[in-house]
Amino acid sequence: MGIRFPNNDFKNFEAPMRAEIDLAGLEVVQGEVPKELSGGFFRLIGDRKWPAFVENDIFMLGEDGMASCFYFKDGRVDFKMRYVRTPRFVAEEKAGRALFGEYRNPFTDDPSVAGLSRGTANVTMLAHAGKLFAMKEDSPVIEMDPFTLETIGEYDWGGAVTAKAITAHPKIDPRTGELIFFGYCAAGPATRDVAYYEADAEGRIIHEAWFKAPYTCMVHDIMVTEHYVVFPITPLRHELEWIERREPAFKWDPNEEVYLGVLPRKGNGDQIRWFKGPNQCHGHTVGAFDDGRYIYADNTFSKRSFFHFFPNVDGSAFSPADTMPYMKRIVIDMESEGDHFTEQKLFEYPCELPRIDTRFETMDYNFVTMNLLDVPGQERVGHGFQWVATMDVNGNKPSKIYYAGDDCSIGEPQFVPKSNDAPEGEGYILTVVGKHQEMRSELLILDASDINAPPVATVALPFRLRSTGHGYWYSTSQLLGETNVLGAS
């Protein structure tokens, strides 16, 4: 049987690349790459190796993870791209065809892969304690070599992590270098169990707690402060009976309550307190901090799930506008006897993939950069995200918006400090622009203090890179395990 991809999202600029690449010395077509930047800008791209055999193949969710990295040293940038050789990828490579069926539904798989990890490792890459991981929230993490991108294999922190799935959005506390992470559906597919872990700066598991969520749902991200961890339970629900009936694995429930579960850092499962608020869907955490009494947590929320391809539970229609995420500040009073949180909108335009200067993770902070989905008055011509913005959550500096250009998409912006001790937000923004008509991509290095100034440098790729979610910078010191804190080198 011939290899043929469906004539939908998998065409043109977004067609699978299916190529592993080594390209030393990328062309710098404008400006100069700052010599002080030493490290890697890692991105996971979903890139299906074999066409799906099911109808409902969801763009970016069910695709094989392809790890890519722009390596920076002495003003030169090299590029490398490798498939994450997950157990799933290895099994399908051996068979020469897809063996896994619909997203998060093991009942649709080829019987030959029953019991094998379904993870595609296609969401984020994390460097901690000298190790590099490719992560996806439905499966164990995959360890990779930080410099060659060769896959080492599934990693469970020396057997200390027994959760069946680990988030793709862990947090690092820059005060201590500790890694804070969790897994939902931690006891198996569609279970209510949530596992929470902390690892010390050397990567040893120092805390574990388990609790049950009020209902089973997608829990993509968490909020972490100096003293608390907040788990958002919002009703993009996930039920075993749905997948048994071959229905979509996730459905949006417009009538279910929203819960924020607050645990003290290193607390036990029975210490969790639940706070309720209006029906809405959590997207990503921006930043979070506490002052001992109040928890302040900034997040993107949409009226319903951002994922339009997941239907409403009751089959009702919904407006595309309801999928638009907005940034809001949540406030939780830990001294109150009540069980509700309050919220306030922080930014007027729909936005996603918010990132901060992570040297301020868990702390009071100002600087945010993110992608925008819509800007009134600017016609939407291209594909995906088309704008990057910077803002100050405290309103001390005006927001700025960078437009990628007609028929161009732009990726998640990553902030990199100018030097390891530069003030908050002083440095560069790395982002990849897809030039759809030219069928190629560029890495942009923007001045974080003025993203509308001419780019610090434009680095050209002689090929396209598919749209993806997340990209993370790790300095050489981080990759070597000398520090767990964001830096330039």
Which residues make up each annotated binding site? Answer: 169, 220, 284, 470
Q: What is the dihedral of CA 323, 329, 333, 339, to 10 degrees?
A: -10
Binding site for Fe cation: what residues are annotated? Answer: 169, 220, 284, 470
Q: What are the strands of the beta sheet with 387-392, ordered from one edge? A: 351-356, 367-372, 387-392, 400-403
Residue 38 is encoded by which pair of tokens? 């030493």
Structure-derived torsion over alpha carbons of residues 427, 431, 437, 440, reported in degrees to the nearest 10: 100
Q: Hey, CA dihedral for 303, 305, 309, 310, is it positive or negative?
A: negative
**Measured between alpha carbons, how far is 476 from 39 in angstroms, rounded to an integer?**
4
CA distance 73 to 59: 34
CA atoms within 13 A on the CB side of 416: 30
**Calculated CA dihedral for residues 363, 365, 369, 372, nearest 10 degrees:** 100
Round to whole Å and give the CA distance between 275 and 482: 39
412 DSSP β-pair partners: none
What's the number of CA atoms in the CB half-sphere (13 Å) around residue 127?
28
Contacts of 341 (CB under 8 A, 6+ apart): 260, 275, 276, 277, 330, 331, 332
Q: Is 89 helix (H, G, I), strand (E, B) or coil?
A: helix
Chain centroid, CA 481 distance in Å? 22
Q: What share of the chain is helix, strand, coil (3-state, %, to 5)?
A: 10, 40, 55
